[in-house]
Each structure stands twice: as C-alpha cells, then as structure tokens.
Structure 1
Amino acid sequence: MKKLTLLLTALLAGMMAFGQDMKTYQYAERDTLNLYLDFYTPEQVNDSTICLVYVFGGGFIGGHRDGKWEKAYFEQLVKEGFMVASIDYRLGLKGAKNLGIFNTEPLEKAVYMATEDAISAIAYLLEHAEELKVNKDYIVMIGSSAGAITSLQTDYALCNGYLNFNILPEDFRLAGVVSYAGAIFSHEGKVKYRNREPAPTMLFHGMRDNLVSYKGISFMNVGFFGTDALVKRFKKYQYPYFARRFEDYGHSVAVAGPLTVDDLLWFCHHYIYNKERIQVDGTYTNLDPATMPPYDYYTPGDLYK
C-alpha cells in the first residue's frame, strides 16, 4: 500500500508539474463564441523549438482541446521538446444529417469555419511570438480526424491564397503538416497547390477508413481527397511527404499520435531541420483486426443521424 501511495503521489506531482507549464489564451471571438488555445511549453526552449498547433478530432460535432487523451499526448510531446498550442474551433456539423457526395455544403462550411479559426490561432501565435518564444519558421499543424482535415486544409488555403490569408504575413509558411486520418475538401477538382507548394506533409491513414475516406470520394468537381489521393498528387509534383498506410485499420488511426512520436521526431529532423526533399511511403498490416475498437469501421451515417 505504501508503494502504491508513493507511486500515486509521484504521478500526481508529475501531472501538477506539467500543468504549471500550460497557459490559456483567448485568440479570437467568432459567432459570439470565445475561442481559446492552451499553450504548453517544454523545460528548455530555443530558436529551433518546434511549435505544434494541435487541432482535436470529433467529426466537427464534438471534441475538446483539453480532453484527457489530448493532455496525456501533449505531455508526451512536451517531454520530447515540442511546444504545443491546442486550439478551439467552431464545430460546424452540429445537427447535420444525411451528409454525402450530393450534400456537401454542410461539410464545406464546417471545414471552412475550422480552417478560418486555425489561421486566426496561427496569427495570434505570430502576434505574440516574442512573449511565447515561438519561432515563426517552426510552426507545424497537427491534427486528428476532423483536426487532420483542418490541418491539411489550412496549408491548402495558405498555398492557394483564400480564406483570411491576409491576416498572416505574406512570407509566412507552415514548417510542416501532420495528419492522422485527414483529407482535403475541394470543389475545383483534384487537389492543386496553385501559388506555392505545400509544406512537408506527414500522413497516417487506415486503408479501411469509412469516416474519412483513405482514397477519397468525388463527383464532378467536388471531392474529399484522403491520403491515397494526396500521395498521388505529391508524387506527381515531387512534393516532400511521409506516409504510413495501415492495411487492416479503419478510423482508429486518427488516435495513433502517441504511438508514432518517434516517426514525428524523425520527420522533424529530416524534413524540417534538414529540409530534405524526400518521399517516404510504407504500408503496414495489423495482425489482429479483432482488437480494433468498435468505431474503427464507422461510416458517416453512424455519426450524422
């Protein structure tokens, strides 16, 4: 019992110490909502410290910037030397029903709103860069599911000059994008980076994902392009990327962040610090699909009823 008490005390002390490195800031007000970000700082910060702007998942209908799972993940990232800015954003699909290729307007609106908020959060970080010790050259977007969509879409917006791009400095570029089960929405056909090439991009996706399609889905000029479709475009135009495809997984890859921190560190070293223009692609097989959580093979119909 004494050992257990000491262990619990140590864990609580660690959590308290971690909590002291976090501060909350209001970065915007939208539609009568105050939007906040939680800013986590590692013990040592220098000019090469990477700031991860984290966008939570939840199908644009739920989720929190400060959930238990997220906090545990952030602690892991901070211990590896990352800054983390976990942001709120408006949930534009609350109450949405019957989403599909013939009813994309609600999704487009939700993605637009979330991306607009993400850009505002980045603008806040840049405005307060000196106070927060953020290096504008080392800001990386990272997200899960809806957050991954938002992260990819934010870079897509910046590269194509739409949304509220004008609130950011003209020379601003994301240092990287990390997507766990994400996609890009386009109503102009295949994904095209018109004004400049995308940031180095890291993509994780389950090949049996029915919520955020791994291959993507399109009709006429409207499409929702997942990892497989994006990799094809990156290959064609020789954009740097790092892809991990999981053959027997569905949407559970959205929460693979804590299991892939080593990959993230490798990506940052080679793509961001060394600026290597390389393409890494791997496919993995899960040996026991029965261990997957029930939501692994959910479809949009399971969420938007």
Structure 2
Amino acid sequence: MVSQTRYVDSVFKKISKNTYNYSIKNLDTLKLDFYEPIEDSLIAKPLFLYVHGGGFSSGSRNDLGTVKMLESIAKKGYAVASIDYRLLPKDVIFGCDYKGAEKIKTFSKAAEDVIDALTFLVNYKDDFYIDQTKIILSGTSAGAESILNLVYNKDELVLPNYEKYKHIKISAVVSISGAVLNPSLITTSNSVPGVFFHGVIDKVVPYNEASHRSCKATDKGYLPLYGSKKITESISSFNTSNILISYKDKGHDLSKIPSADFFDITFKFIKKVVIDNEFYQAQITQ
C-alpha cells in the first residue's frame, strides 16, 4: 500500500462546505464558501484562498469546476475558501475601450475584497481552524491579477486603510495566467514564493511583458502588464522559491485549467516550501 502525504495527496474522504457573508460594499453582499475536511484533528490548518477569473465581469466562486477543484484541495488537509469580489456592471467590457486608470481601480477593488475576506477568516481563525502563518493565495486570470498586485504591487493600487491589514501575511501565491502592473515594486520584503502557470502566446494577459489584451498605445484601455516570466525573474533575483510552468503552444485558454499538472506541481511545492520551509526553484516548459 502506497503511503499518502498530507497537503499533497487526498488523505480525507469527506469535506464540509459552508457559506458566509464576509463584507457588504454598497449594494454588493460578498460571500465566501469555506471548505474543510471532516474528522480532521488538526486545529490549525494552512489556508488556501481562491479567486476566480472572468475578466472582472463574469465568473463565480461556486461554479461546478471550481467546487470540484476546491473539494479536492480540502481533501488534502487544507482549509479552503473561494470568494466573491466586486465585478464590473454587465454593460462594461474590460477591454481596449475601458480606460487604463479605470482598470487599475478595478484591480484595486478586487484586491481590497481579497484582503477583506482574509481579514474575516483570520479574525475567526479559531472557529475556522486556520493557521494564519500559512496563507496561500490563488487565482485565475482576473483573480490572479488581483492576488498578484495585492502581494507584489500594493503601492500601485488604491487600498483604503491598508494599515489595518498589516497583520495579514501571505506565505505563497499560485497564479494561472496572471500579471502585475510594475515588477520593479517587487522587493526583498514582498518577494513571496509562488507557482506560476502561463501560456507563452497569451494575448490577453502577457506571459512576459505587453499591453493588457494586446491594446495599442493609442487605445483608451492601453495598460502595460508584466506576466509570469517577468515576475519569476524578479523574485528569483531575491533567492525566493518559485516555479514557472510555461506552456509554449497555449494562450489565455490555459486559464481554463486546473489540470493534473496544477495539482501535482502546486501541492508538492506548497508542502516543500510553505510547510517544510525548504528552498526550491524550477522552470518547466510543456
């Protein structure tokens, strides 16, 4: 019989799921779904928080694929949360006609919602059985942009009362097709370990550096972004653990995973780096 390893393999058979209101922003009541393994004796579990994609105009914290993914993660022994965040009005397209400055405000609102969800969970950490020293943020596409800018580029965002969030410390990020606004703001103090999945020919969120959605410099929505290649170069320069998984024949359609690669690579990395405090850097091309 092959032994199973907590945080890497599915060591629990059943999980529970409950929904909570974590914040009210004007007319938006923001919810999170919280998953945890049943009959787990560990009273302080690492928190894995996921932020869905959808171009800031669609997507859901609880679509069928997301639920299946997060149930699988909870079975590995994590406390898991999937959150709502404020989306754009239905008639607004987050494209080349949407002003760059407004795009940054959209990033900021989503990042603020992420940190508010984390604050809610950490404030009730004893009830949720969370180890607040081991928080992993994950996101896909727009969700990845939200978490990456929050962690590496908060000074580019408009975050009211950020001082009240200073007790929240992030241990690692897991990004699928994400980017930041300014890689030069990554420093030794915010160089958080991470796992980065990205399609090399992504025309929506650049793999290296390019404009968002390939907008022209003359477009209202022109906004330079710096993707997984540039981010990992920056954090590697500070000797920070990271893995870059590059898909040479994929574009933004990569954001529709997780695939088997995601589960295998991500959770071995988290076990090694976040749980066991080991150093690890790698680049993988698929």
In which range does the TM-score fall when normalised by the shorter chain?
A: 0.7 to 0.9
- Structure-1 residue corresponding to 2:162: 165
Question: Comparing both chains, which one has the higher relative contact order based on Cα–Cα distances under 8 Å and sequence gaps of 6 or more?
Answer: 2
Q: Determine what percentage of the aligned residue pairs are the same residue.
A: 26
CA RMSD of aligned residues (A): 2.6
Report the structure, 1 or 2, having the larger strand content.
2
Question: Aligned to 1:32, which of 11, 18, 27?
Answer: 27
Residues 1-305 of structure 1: pairs in structure 2 closer than 5 A: 21-43=16-38, 44=40, 46=42, 49-92=45-88, 94-97=90-93, 99-100=95-96, 103-157=99-153, 163=159, 164-168=161-165, 170-186=166-182, 190-194=183-187, 196-217=189-210, 223-259=224-260, 260-284=262-286
* Contact 2:156 2:181 (8 Å CA) reproduced: no
Q: Deviations over 1:60-84 (max 9, x none)?
A: 0101101011111112112222221
Rate the CA distance shift 1:101–1:224 in 2: closer, same or farther, 3 A: farther
What is the deviation of 1:39? 0.3
**Offset at 1:207?**
0.6
Deviation at 1:166, TM superposition (A): 1.9
Question: Hey, what's the Cα distance between the residues in 1 that align with 2:140 and 2:163?
Answer: 26
Distance 1:45 1:143, change over 3 A: farther
| Aligned counterparts of 2:66 and 2:169: Cα–Cα separation in 1 | 26
Distance 2:164 2:153 in 1: 13
Provide the rounded CA distance (Å) in 2 between the counterparts of 1:179 and 1:234. 14
Residues 165-199 of structure 1: per-residue CA shift (max 9 Å, x gap)? 3222x34311110001111124xxx4323571322
Aligned length: 262
Contact kept? 2:207, 2:228, Cα under 8 Å: yes
Higher helix share: 1
8 Å CA contact 2:52–2:60 kept in 1: the answer is yes
TM-score, length of structure 1 as denominator length = 0.78
Superposed CA offset, 1:241-265 (max 9, x none):
1110000011122132242211122
Query: How far off is 1:36 after superposition?
Result: 0.6
Contact 1:40 1:78 in 2 (8 A): yes
Q: CA deviation at 1:159?
A: 8.3
Q: Which runs of 5 or more structure 2 residues have no equivalent in the other structure?
A: 1-12, 212-216, 218-222
Displacement after TM superposition at 1:216 (Å) = 2.2
Is the contact between residue 186 and residue 235 of structure 2 (CA under 8 Å) also seen in structure 1? no
Mean CA deviation greater in 112-121 or 236-245:
236-245
Deviation sequence 1:97-124 (CA, Å, 0-9, x none) = 5834993122211111100000000000
Letter in 1 for 2:230: A
TM-score when normalising by structure 2: 0.83
- Check conservation: 2:108, 2:158, Cα contact below 8 A: no
Deviation at 1:158, TM superposition (A): 5.6
Question: How big is the shift at 1:130?
Answer: 0.7
List gaps (5 residues or longer) in structure 1: 1-16, 285-305
